[in-house]
Amino acid sequence: MKLKIFTVFPKLLLTVSAVFAISAVFAVSAQNTVHAAVSDPAPLEVGIGVTEITPPLSYPMAGYYSKRLSDGVLDPLMLRAFCFKQGDEMCVLAISDSIYVYDDVTAEVKRRIQEKTGLSADAVFLVGTHTHTGPVWMKYDRKITPEENLAAAARNDHEAFNYKAFWVEQTEKAILESMKNVRPASLSIGKTSVTDLSFNRRYFMKDSDQVRFNPGVLNPNIIRLAGPIDPDLFGILFRDAEKKPFASLSNFALHLDTTGGTKFSADYPFYIQTVLRERFGADFISGFGIGTCGDINHVDVTNRHRRRAPEIGTELGKRLAALYDGELSELSPSLDSAMRTLTVKRQEFTEEQIARARELRKEVLNTSSQLTFLERVEVGKIVNLSTLPLEHQVEVGAIRLSSDTAIVLLPGEIFVELGQDLKRRSPFKNTIIIELSQTNAKYIPTRKAFKEGSYETINVLFPEGTGERFIDAAMECLEELKK
């Protein structure tokens, strides 16, 4: 297996458009990449770059099956980039306050970073948080300039403003800033169990032979849950050379749909940061990676009280603060990263199915239509997917922080049982799984869930068995990194 080693001059000063000097680059297979581990452990360095990615105008919002124009900002949407460096080894994890990230723009960011710094595209990992109060991502206009975009924003022209182009610029800035800011750091990890904030949203029902998602609070037809939750709340605390905490990376499996409305918001992770800043200072950076929660949300069907973002985020923040004030395990750094690229076919449809869906698409937009919600989802899916290429290149990756701690990056909204299976099989004591990586792969249910039906098994891009393939690919990465 070929290896890539990148040496970056650590003292080179960067502006937003500056370029890192690179001393050595070697070829690597894009299908099966592992970055060389440091033979004689060097000190770990960490850099963080942050940019705001809130659309600077009234803009269509994502998250629901209706058009919404934003009319303000509850809290800003941010892009947080974490750069990890140890000797010649470097990788970046960038976390976007957005419903997804998309492969056209993540590929562009990776290309720019590799071109400007020499850092392999395979060592750049980009993920979304899945906030439902962020912007819609429309077609990427590669030709629009930042000046033209700002002019469109100034006249509040959301049709002329290209959010993807804006996001690419802001993400590139954050990553370059994180690479410039690397400094000696130590990492400590902790984990606690949270069982009262998240709930599996799929249920077996008395009145249906299929599982139903979100059946409603106190529904008398509920028999039992169709799946578990993942109670693991992971926290990694970053300290500088003087042992002062300066950042956190946390992970929990709970859908980010706890705000609603027409104002931009990062959802409950914003309140996690608010609590941690009260504890550690106003400059403290809180990064949050969403766990495998394709079938998990915040709705307790046994209780009419529904927690919202401020309550959920504040509670998670308090539990993280308590975790950080307790006994943590300091990591002995051993930085490395791995990537697998899979070729996955999307779902296929007959010409008759496509023609029928296109005809029914008119009904989807009709408010008096007799189509059920799930029928509308199915119609929209067939029409949309039939315009996409049959084959897709999908990346599954992992970052090793130490001999017992790894972060796995998976595309799509992964069902929790897939994540739990990976944690059980992982050779690492601490396996943090972050979903929604690199591309919008839609829902990734288990084989079992596909047979049980309901919304998540309809709103998919890929067929049954894809989730299990992703977990197997992640295991390959972890086993490679454990050697």
Query: Could you count the other beta carbons within 10 Å of the beta carbon of residue 420?
Result: 18
Tokens of 431: 């396996």
* Helical axes 373-385 vs 351-364, angle rounded to 10°: 130
CA distance 297 to 259: 12
Of 383, 430, 390, 436, the closest CA to residue 407 belongs to: 430
| DSSP calls for 195-263 | -SS-EE-EEEETT-SS-EES--TT-TTEEEESS----EEEEEEEE-TT--EEEEEEEE---S-S--SSS
If you average pLDDT over residues 174-188, what whole number do you get? 99
CA distance 144 to 149: 7
* Cα-based distances in Å from 161 to 10, 126, 446, 471: 37, 23, 38, 38
CA distance 66 to 417: 30
Domain ranges of the chain: 1-342+393-445, 347-385
Tokens of 276: 């941690």
Is 183:43 a contact under the CB 8 Å cutoff?
no
pLDDT of residue 2: 30
pLDDT of residue 331: 98
Return the exposure string of 122-146: e unless at least 16 CB atoms fall within 10 Å of the residue's CB, then b: bbbbbbbbbbbbbbebeebeeebee
Provide the H-helix boundaries in 122-206: 146-154, 163-180
State yes or no: pLDDT of 24 exceeds 60: no
The two beta strands, 391-402 and 413-414, are unpaired
CA distance 375 to 451: 17
| DSSP calls for 110-134 | HHHHHHHH---GGGEEEEE---SSS
List the beta bridge partners of residue 83.
47, 92
* Percentage of residues in the chain having pLDDT higher than 70: 91
- Greater confidence (380 vs 239) lies with 239
Task: With cut-offs at 50, 70 and 90, classify the pLDDT of residue 64.
Answer: confident
- The rounded radius of gyration (Å) of the Cα atoms in the chain is 22
44: part of which helix (H) or strand (E)?
strand 44-52
Q: What order do you get walking across the sheet with 329-330 strand by strand?
A: 285-290, 245-252, 232-239, 186-193, 329-330
State yes or no: pLDDT of 214 exceeds 70: yes
If you average pLDDT over residues 57-83, what whole number do you get? 94
State yes or no: pLDDT of 414 exceeds 50: yes
What are the backbone angles phi and psi of residue 364, rounded to the nearest 5°?
Answer: -60, -40
Task: With cut-offs at 50, 70 and 90, classify the pLDDT of residue 299.
Answer: very high
State yes or no: pLDDT of 37 exceeds 80: no
pLDDT of residue 40: 57
| DSSP calls for 47-79 | EEEEEE---SS--BB-SSSS--B---BSS--EE
Per residue in 251-260, pLDDT (tens digit) is 999 999 999 9
Residue with structure tokens 């990427």? 140
Query: Could you count the other beta carbons within 10 Å of the beta carbon of residue 79?
Result: 22
State yes or no: pLDDT of 207 exceeds 90: yes
State yes or no: pLDDT of 4 exceeds 60: no
- Greater confidence (307 vs 12) lies with 307
If you average pLDDT over residues 126-143, what whole number do you get? 96
CA distance 405 to 58: 42
Task: With cut-offs at 50, 70 and 90, classify the pLDDT of residue 12.
Answer: very low
Per-chain mean pLDDT for the chain: 92
pLDDT of residue 362: 79
pLDDT of residue 369: 80
Tokens of 414: 């992964």
Return the exposure string of 157-173: e unless at least 16 CB atoms fall within 10 Å of the residue's CB, then b: ebeebbbbbbbbbbbbb
State yes or no: pLDDT of 368 exceeds 80: no
If you average pLDDT over residues 128-156, what whole number do you get? 95
* Percentage of residues in the chain having pLDDT higher than 90: 87
Is 237:326 a contact under the CB 8 Å cutoff?
no
pLDDT of residue 266: 99
Return the exposure string of 195-231: e unless at least 16 CB atoms fall within 10 Å of the residue's CB, then b: eebbbbbbbbbeeeeebbbebeeeeeebeebbbebbe
Task: With cut-offs at 50, 70 and 90, classify the pLDDT of residue 442.
Answer: very high
pLDDT of residue 365: 67
- Greater confidence (60 vs 36) lies with 60
State yes or no: pLDDT of 137 exceeds 50: yes
| Interior angle at CA 162, CA 158 and CA 167, nearest 5 | 120
List the beta bridge partners of residue 44.
86
State yes or no: pLDDT of 388 exceeds 90: yes
pLDDT of residue 16: 37
State yes or no: pLDDT of 230 exceeds 70: yes
Q: Please list, in sequence order, all residues whose beta carbon lies within 8 angstroms of the beta carbon of residue 159, skipping any fewer than 6 positions away.
A: none
Query: Could you count the other beta carbons within 10 Å of the beta carbon of residue 189?
Result: 21
How long, in residues, is the chain?
483
State yes or no: pLDDT of 313 exceeds 90: yes
At position 40, the amino acid (one-letter code) is D
List the beta bridge partners of residue 61.
135
pLDDT of residue 38: 42
pLDDT of residue 455: 96
pLDDT of residue 63: 84
List the beta bridge partners of residue 402.
333, 405
State yes or no: pLDDT of 73 exceeds 90: yes
If you average pLDDT over residues 261-267, what whole number do you get? 97
